[in-house]
Amino acid sequence: MCTVTYIPTAEGVILTSNRDERPDRTPILPPAAHRVGGRTLTFPVDPRAGGTWIAMTGGNAAGVLLNGGFEKHIPTPPYRESRGVILLEILSAPSPEARFRTLPLDRIEPFTLILVTGSKLLRCTWDGGEKHLQELDRHQSHIWSSATLYDRETRFVREQQLREWLSGGTPDQARILDFHRRPDIRYGATSRSGNRLETISTTSIRFGSGQPEMRYHDLPSGTVSTTFSEETPSELRSPFHTRVRQAIRRFLIKLRHWEYWPLPVLYFPVFLYHVWQSVKAGSPFYFSAANPSIETGGMFGESKSRILSRIPDHLKPVTLLFPPEVILAEVLIEILRHRLTYPLIAKPDIGERGWRVEKIAHEQDLKRYISTAATAFILQEYVDFPLEAGVFYYRYPGQERGTISSLVRKDFLCVTGNGVDSLETLITQKDRAFLQLPLLKKRIDLRSIPTAGEKVLLSPIGNHCLGTAFLDGSDLITDDLLRTFDALSHSLGDFYFGRYDLRCPGPEDLRAGKNLKILELNGVGAEPAHIYHPGFSLAEGYRVLFHHWRTLYRISRENHRRGVPYLSLREAVFFWKKARNGRD
């Protein structure tokens, strides 16, 4: 409870603590599962006070204590409660952060609590008179030392030691434990009162894939024990009837709102229309002639990076292409060379409907993404404009002006806190978010309680499959916007039909056709996505879809008449295999 490190790794995070105490203090009971306040926590027990200095839950939450606040204090016993008991009360709450904010701490000795939840790293300090709560960068390594034993200069030296040690290679739990056992990190001194204090144990918590793990090393005896969390994730410990009820609710939501219907079901009438058009055109791949400059016209197997390379640099974010066998060091060199900073957007060079599109917040995210990449991928500069939209544009061959037939605004999935309900409760109250609940449980800590009015972004990717609402933005279509896309589309050569996905500072910029950043250009496989506006009628949706497929047919036939060949069966098979590579 006197030296603590927090270190993110490729697999997760590791929180480690050195306990400095009198060697003759009552022996500690090693880590085990205990029921506290209706939750199962794993922690070692100090028999003298009944508390602990470090504990973890099964939901990627943990806490570790340091004696003292910001500066060394003069003890003024008696105290109302042990700090180790306070730790358990905070960590057993549905929202440990909220519990720290509201828990009375009068007549409690000053302490610092390092609190790790699924999405936050917090330093919670009680200085004896006032609480202090600081959110820290959870993607950076940190070291803290107790103010009661280490002065500011020593604490600064330890920060330097940690940085030097981290430069020596990739950290894992074994190496971190070795760092904590180094002579210059372990404590050993005799106080003025004659009490000998020394590091008597090192405890490390690892969060990542699989169950959270606590490794405890009793230094005097040399005993090492490993304990896994026994708390079951909330979805698995839900009663059977609750899981059935949730499944029924998901089914009914999708049944009532056709925007969630499976594509084969929704597009079956469109497929029959496509068959009729194929008969008339003499080829099922007539659509490939609509955009001769894009492979397959942009229906499947086309390269995102190749398409983006045709767009002027000032209209797009910096985009880097990497093969699947690339190593992290090579990617980092290119990031530095192009002066990119986190976050970044990673996506397959060939892919659709949000497959493997991720926001890369830090180097560990990047390392994990590279290690799982089975196909070529691109890294893209993150465009931090608030408005994301999709502009569907088509133009008949030989004509100067085209048409913007659809404009969709993207409303990212989020919930707003009320200061009372947990994140999971807020999600279940909103149908669109509830459909994403199984995925969200794997990514974020749902027990946290957002403050009143706090807006919590649940997914940073603007994809309908990930919960983003597609809103009809037809009111944003103007002559200025059309002129912008007429000029851009002419500059691309043989491009006549597709959707530009973009970001811009706001609606007025979009109406004026200015300050746009093109994230992607999708060809004939794109949809006029405004049809997914909540409440848009199914009949009107089909009217829009049939209109676009009729337009696609006419553009393709005209280009074919001008000498553009249709895709052959052999070519279609080749590009289909490219599109499925890494997905099957």
CB atoms within 10 A of CB 186: 17
Which CATH architecture describes the domain 318-382? 2-Layer Sandwich (3.30)
> Hey, is 20 helix, strand or coil?
strand
- Residues recorded for the chain: 584
What integer is the mean pLDDT of 238-246?
Answer: 72
Would the pLDDT of 222 be above 90?
no
CB within 8 A of 426, min separation 6: which ones? 415, 416, 417, 418, 433, 450, 456
Q: Which residue has the higher pLDDT, 554 or 447?
A: 554
CA distance 415 to 429: 9
Q: Give pLDDT tens digits for 423-468.
A: 888 899 899 999 999 888 877 877 777 887 889 999 888 788 888 9
Question: What does the alpha-carbon distance between residue 473 and residue 506 come to, in Å, rounded to a whole number?
Answer: 12
pLDDT at 107: 94
Answer yes or no: is pLDDT of 236 > 50.
no
- Structure tokens of 292? 């001769």
pLDDT digits (tens, 9 = 90+) for 370-400: 998 989 999 999 999 999 999 999 999 999 9
Dihedral Cα 163, 166, 168, 172, nearest 10 deg = 160
Please, which pLDDT band fits residue 144 given cuts at 50, 70 and 90?
A: very high
pLDDT of residue 26: 77
Report the sign of the C-alpha dihedral through residues 253, 258, 259, 262, in that order: positive
- 209 confidence band (pLDDT: 50, 70, 90): low
For 35-172, where are the alpha helices, taking DSSP H only?
Answer: 83-91, 96-102, 152-166
| Model confidence at 1: pLDDT above 60 | no
For residue 235, the model assigns a pLDDT of 39
- d(CA 439, CA 166) in angstroms, rounded, equals 33
Whether 289 shows a pLDDT value over 80: the answer reads yes
Which pLDDT belongs to residue 39? Answer: 84
Question: Per-residue pLDDT for 189 more than 90?
Answer: no
* pLDDT of 195: 65
Question: From residue 69, how far is each of 66, 99, 140, 313 by CA, in Å?
Answer: 8, 18, 22, 52
d(CA 273, CA 292) in angstroms, rounded, equals: 23
Question: How many angstroms separate the Cα of 567 from the Cα of each of 12, 218, 413, 522?
Answer: 46, 70, 39, 18
Give domain limits for the chain.
3-231, 262-316+385-412+459-580, 318-382
- Sheet with 497-504: strands ordered across: 469-472, 403-411, 387-394, 497-504, 517-522
Fill in the amino acid letter for 463.
N
Q: Which fold has domain 3-231?
A: Penicillin V Acylase; Chain A (3.60.60)
Average pLDDT, the chain: 89
Please give the pLDDT value at position 383: 95
| Residues 285/517, Cβ–Cβ less than 8 Å | no
Alpha-helical segments (H) within 211-312: 234-237, 240-256, 263-266, 268-281, 304-308
Name the E strands within 338-460: 344-348, 358-360, 377-381, 387-394, 403-411, 414-416, 455-457
Q: What is the pLDDT of residues 71-104, one digit of tens each?
A: 999 999 999 999 999 999 999 988 899 999 999 9
Confidence of residue 188 (pLDDT cuts 50, 70, 90): low
Give the per-residue pLDDT at 104: 95
Residue 18 has pLDDT above 60, yes or no: yes
345 pLDDT band, cuts 50/70/90, is very high
Phi, psi of 399, deg, nearest 5? -100, 150
| Percentage of the chain lying above the pLDDT 90 cut | 66
Q: Before 343, cis peptide (omega within 30)?
A: yes
Residue 341 has pLDDT above 60, yes or no: yes
State the Cα–Cα distance between residues 437 and 64, nearest whole angstrom: 29
Spatial CB neighbours of 279, under 8 Å, sequence gap ≥ 6: none
- pLDDT, position 132: 97
Among 328, 22, 303, CA closest to 189 = 22
Tens digit of pLDDT for each residue in 292-325?
Answer: 999 999 999 999 999 999 999 999 999 999 999 9
pLDDT higher than threshold 50 for residue 422 = yes
The whole-number pLDDT of residue 237 equals 46
CB 10 within 8 A of CB 365: no
Structure tokens at 32: 């085990």
- Give the percent of the chain with pLDDT over 70: 95
| pLDDT tens, position by position, 154-169 | 888 888 999 999 988 7
Task: Give the residue-averaged pLDDT of 463-482.
Answer: 93
Q: Position 243: which residue type?
A: R
- Report the pLDDT value the prediction gives residue 145, as an integer from 0 to 100: 92
On whether the CB atoms of residues 334 and 326 are closer than 8 A, the answer is: no
Q: How many CB atoms lie within 10 A of CB 368?
A: 15
DSSP one-letter string for 468-533: PEEEE-GGG--HHHHHHHHHHHHHTSS--EEEEEEEES-HHHHHHT-S-EEEEEE-TT---GGGGS
Q: Is the pLDDT of residue 230 over 70?
A: no
Average pLDDT over residues 246-271: 93
Helices (H) and strands (E) in the chain, counts: 18, 25
- Strands 188-190 vs 3-8: parallel, antiparallel or unpaired: unpaired
Are 40 and 30 within 8 A, CB to CB? no
